[in-house]
Structure formats: C-alpha cells, structure tokens
C-alpha cells in the first residue's frame, strides 16, 4: 500500500482495527502520564490534610517523592491498567463508526457538527465504562488513602456506599467530558486537516494537533474536573452543610458511617467548591491538568493513528491473501 492510501483507511478498516488501536492508545497515554494525573488529583483536594498541602506542581512532585516515595506517583495505576484499554477501545470504536454514519469523513472539508456529535456518542460509551475506574483510581491517589489496593477499595465502597457510589460523578463526568471531547475532537480534526491537507499518515501532525486540542479543551473544562474530583474522592461525614461535612471527614480521615451526608450532583459540588475555596477553587490543579492532558492527547492520537495505520495494512493483507487462496482453490 502506498502512503497516500492512508486517507481512505477509516472507510475500509473495520471496528476491530479502531478498537484495537484505541486500546493501545489508552494504555500508552494513561501509563506514561499517570504521575501528572496523581498530582492533579492531590492539587484539586479542597481540604487536604497537613501533609498534602502543596504550593504548586513542582512542590507537589518534590514533596510526594520525599515524604511518600516514588511509588506514590503511581497510586491507583492498577485500576487504570484494567480499565483504560477497554474504555478507549469503546471510545475510538464508537467515534469512528459515528463519524462514518454522520458523514464526518466525506471529502477533505472539515465537518465540525458531525465530529462533535460523534464525540458525544464516544463520550457516553467511554464514561459509562470508565467512571467506576475513575472513582477507584482517585480514592487510591489521595494522601493517606484508607484503601490498600484496587480490590479493597472496590469491596469497601460496595459495602459502605453501594453501587451508586461508582456513578455518583457520572452526570458531572458527562457534563465535563461532552464539552471537553467536542472541543478536543473538533480542534484536533481542524488542526489535522489544516496541517496535513493531503490526509496522509504524518506523525508530527498527529502529535501537534493532539497536544494543541488537548491543552485548550483541558483548560476550558477545569471547573468541571474539580467538581468530578470532589464527587469521586469525598467521604461521608457529619455536619449540616456539604462543605463542613467534607472538611470534617477529610480531617478525621474516617471511613463511611451510616447516616452521614454526602455531596451529590454537579450543582451541590459547585456550591461546595465555592463555599470552601471561593472562585479560585474552580481552577485548582489547572496547570497540572493542562500539562497532563496536552502530552497525553498527543501520545494518544500518535499511538492511535500509528496502530490504525499499521493494523489496517495487516487487515488488508489478510483479506487479500484470503481472496487469493479462495480463488486458487476454486
């Protein structure tokens, strides 16, 4: 196959290629950038304990390594290792099929509306699978986490808070991720087609377009990410207001006790953030989020496009060989 035939790959490669490439992209992205994700979660805590109060991104890295060791930067990575591959397989598989159905691949022109709708479909599928993984991951990432590992966390949450705890932030996740993914995908497709009008496989284009799209989308949706972190990491605790409840429980570092309050839903989460930290609370961890997302999306798109490019050739060669074998036998 010639290089310029890459432009036609989305039409000929099947869902299995897209899902396999997506799984590889998800694993690479989350594994390589995981330490930044841990630091982002720490920086977004509204009432961190004394040992986890950081002045910024660099101070957080230095303090965590000095006080907790390098392993603290990988707390919760097992949860991501189990979930990132399947979740990204769903994401990219759904995205590519939706683009095909909605006509986003027609011609060389940019189709932002069809791309955005494809992103919505992909996000709903991805988040339905990934939300429980995020809950477990972030509970393991926080300072002085009461959980010893993935299964201990899963069992404890199920026993003490029920299945609904794994989807407490799902609505917030969708509210955050739908505008994030729409912005991210529309900008990526625009940059990709602008930087590489021929549509050939061009790694530098995927790298630059992925980084630019991820950085812009991450910065715009940071307030929703802070709310998601609150909903995922909170512990139920006594008190009349959600903010007071969360503060007291974090200070005591207690597990769930029946009859205690919990912050539910994006509106209550936003109120809690404002009550606890003011407007500044809505941009907590923005530098870590952008620094995490830009290279993460660059890696994700680069790996995805590479594997899609490679696997499509493998699939095409296999079909060609099968055709020749069938013809010779007849």
| 132-170: pLDDT as tens digits | 998 998 888 887 788 888 899 999 999 988 998 899 888
φ, ψ dihedrals at 168, nearest 5°: -60, -35
For 149, the token pair is 């590992």
Give the end-to-end CA distance of the chain in Å, rounded to a whole number: 27
| 117-132: pLDDT as tens digits | 999 999 999 999 999 9
Q: Quickly tell me which residue has 């930067």 as its tokens.
A: 73
Contact 280/242 with Cβ under 8 angstroms?
no
Per DSSP (E only), the strands in the chain are none
Instruction: Assign 283 to helix, strand or coil.
Output: helix
Q: Which residues contact 62 (CB under 8 A, 6 or more apart)?
A: none
For the ranges 103-107, 186-190, 279-283, 311-315, the one whose mean pLDDT is highest: 186-190
Confidence of residue 261 (pLDDT cuts 50, 70, 90): low
| 244-257: pLDDT as tens digits | 444 445 444 443 44
C-alpha span between 299 and 122 (Å, rounded): 19
Give mean pLDDT, residues 109-113.
Answer: 88
**Is the pTM higher than 0.75?**
no
Q: Which residue has the higher pLDDT, 173 or 117?
A: 117
C-alpha span between 277 and 267 (Å, rounded): 15
φ, ψ dihedrals at 273, nearest 5°: -60, -45
For 21, the token pair is 């490439």
Give mean pLDDT, residues 44-64.
Answer: 85
């Amino acid at each position: 196959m010639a290089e310029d035939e890459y432009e036609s790959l989305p039409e000929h490669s099947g869902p299995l290629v897209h899902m396999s490439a997506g799984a590889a992209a998800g694993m690479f992205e989350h594994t390589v950038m995981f330490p930044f994700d841990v630091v982002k979660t720490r920086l977004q805590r509204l009432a961190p304990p004394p040992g986890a109060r950081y002045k910024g991104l660099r101070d957080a890295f230095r303090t965590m390594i000095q006080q907790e060791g390098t392993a603290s930067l990988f707390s919760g990575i097992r949860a991501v290792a189990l979930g990132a591959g399947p979740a990204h397989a769903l994401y990219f598989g759904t995205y590519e099929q939706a683009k095909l159905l909605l006509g986003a691949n027609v011609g060389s022109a940019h189709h932002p509306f069809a791309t955005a709708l494809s992103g919505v479909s992909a996000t709903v599928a991805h988040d339905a699978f990934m939300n429980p993984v995020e809950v477990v991951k972030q509970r393991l990432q926080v300072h002085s986490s009461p959980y010893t590992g993935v299964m201990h966390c899963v069992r404890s949450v199920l026993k003490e808070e029920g299945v609904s705890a794994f989807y407490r932030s799902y609505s917030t996740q969708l509210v955050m991720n739908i505008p994030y993914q729409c912005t991210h995908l529309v900008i990526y497709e625009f940059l990709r087609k602008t930087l590489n009008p021929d549509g050939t496989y061009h790694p530098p284009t995927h790298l630059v377009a992925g980084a630019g799209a991820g950085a812009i989308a991450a910065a715009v949706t940071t307030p929703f990410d802070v709310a998601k972190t609150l909903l995922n990491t909170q512990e139920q605790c006594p008190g009349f207001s959600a903010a007071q409840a969360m503060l007291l429980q974090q200070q005591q570092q207690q597990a769930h006790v029946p009859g205690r309050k919990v912050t539910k839903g994006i509106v209550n989460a936003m109120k809690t953030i404002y009550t606890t930290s003011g407007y500044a609370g809505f941009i907590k961890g923005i530098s870590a989020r952008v620094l995490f997302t830009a290279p993460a999306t660059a890696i994700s798109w680069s790996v995805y496009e590479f594997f899609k490019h490679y696997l499509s050739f493998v699939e095409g060669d296999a079909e060609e060989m099968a055709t020749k074998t069938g013809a010779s036998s007849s």
